[in-house]
A and B are shown apart, each in its own frame.
Chain A
Amino acid sequence: MSASHPHRLPSTIARDDESQLVTAAKSGDAAAFEELVNRYERKIFRLTMNITRNHEDAEDAMQDAFMKAYAHLANFQGDSRFYTWLVRIAANEALMRLRKRRPNQFSLDEPVEGDEDLMPRELQDWGPSPEQRYAQAEMRDILDQAIDQLEPEYRVPFVLRDMEELSTEETAAAMGISVAAVKSRLLRARLKLRQKLHRYFRNEEPN
């Protein structure tokens, strides 16, 4: 991967020591900050892309997230992982853009939806290791399509809570909704995604 990073600056700090990199970046070591960016840029782009589902917004949100992280590095206390702190900033940037494009999607605490649509419709065995039936690129397309089809009110909590591993409380704070609403939407998101993957993973072999 290093060959595709022509702009990487030399840093004397070992790659595996994030806290040293953060300390160095805080004291003005630009190379250390750039190393942190190199480390997380792909994951942050995945996050902003998954929230906004719009290439231009995802790029802007990622740029602004790293710019803000740099500008506010002094505020990072080190009581959480640097990456978690970065995810919170990037999530806010991405959500801001999503709200701008879809202003009606995020009314505060929407009433909890009825659960008549919760019951899974298609039930069939997936067979052993269904994920191994697809090559990596194919699998990426499948997941990409599935998440793309999920409405933002379900997609966002799934991305933040399950993919980026924010806590339920952090997800609620980022989205400006209650913890109960996050839990309810997360359940729906997971069941909906299961349903979407079902058409690829169900066992086609006759019994």
Chain B
Amino acid sequence: MNCKSVVREISNYLDGDLDAATKHELERHFDHCEDCKMVVDQTKLTVDIFCDSKPVELPKEVRARLHEVLRRKMREPKS
């Protein structure tokens, strides 16, 4: 497996979507190719950092408007 084929499978590798043989082949490649190992590790870290990121603060006025329209809606009889 060359580097290009490995990069093409990185997402499937991270998502656990590869069959055992292909996964093994990728891991053998990582054993001797520092560049691909670096790319897979950094790509995984990238996904993890975004997943762990805290949601932005909801601006007060945006929140106030949301609750206002919802309360109005909740006062209406449900159709």
User: How extensive is the interface on chain B, given as a class?
Assistant: 35 or more
CB-based contact B53/A139 at 8 Å: yes
A104-129: contact bitstring with B at CB < 8 Å (1 yes, 0 no)?
A: 00000000000100111001111000
Asked whether any CB of chain A lies closer than 8 Å to the CB of B67, the reply is: yes
Interface readout for B46-57 with A: 1 if CB under 8 Å, 0 if not? 110111011111
Instruction: Please judge, given known A-B contacts A67-B73, A194-B43, whether A163 and B50 are in contact too, CB under 8 Å.
Output: yes
Task: Decide: A37 and B70 in contact? CB cutoff 8 A.
Answer: yes
In contact, B38 and A123 (Cβ under 8 angstroms):
yes
CB contacts (< 8 Å) of A190 on chain B: these are 10-11, 14, 43, 46-47
The A-contacting residues of B in range 1-46, CB under 8 angstroms, are 3-4, 7-8, 10-12, 14, 35, 38-39, 42-43, 45-46
Number of interface residues of A (CB under 8 A): 50
- Report how far A30 CA is from B73 CA in the complex, Å: 10
Q: Give bound CA distance, A93 to B67, whole Å.
A: 18
Do A126 and B45 touch (CB < 8 A)? yes
Q: Which residue of B lies closest to A165 (CB)?
A: B51
Chain A residues contacting B35 (CB-CB under 8 Å) are 120, 123
Distance (whole angstroms) from the CB of B12 to the closest CB of chain A: 7
Binding site for B on A (CB under 8 A): 4, 7, 28, 30, 33-34, 37, 41-43, 45-46, 49, 59, 62-63, 66-67, 70-71, 115, 118-120, 123-126, 130-131, 136, 139-140, 143-144, 147, 158, 162-163, 165, 183, 186-187, 190-191, 193-194, 197-198, 201
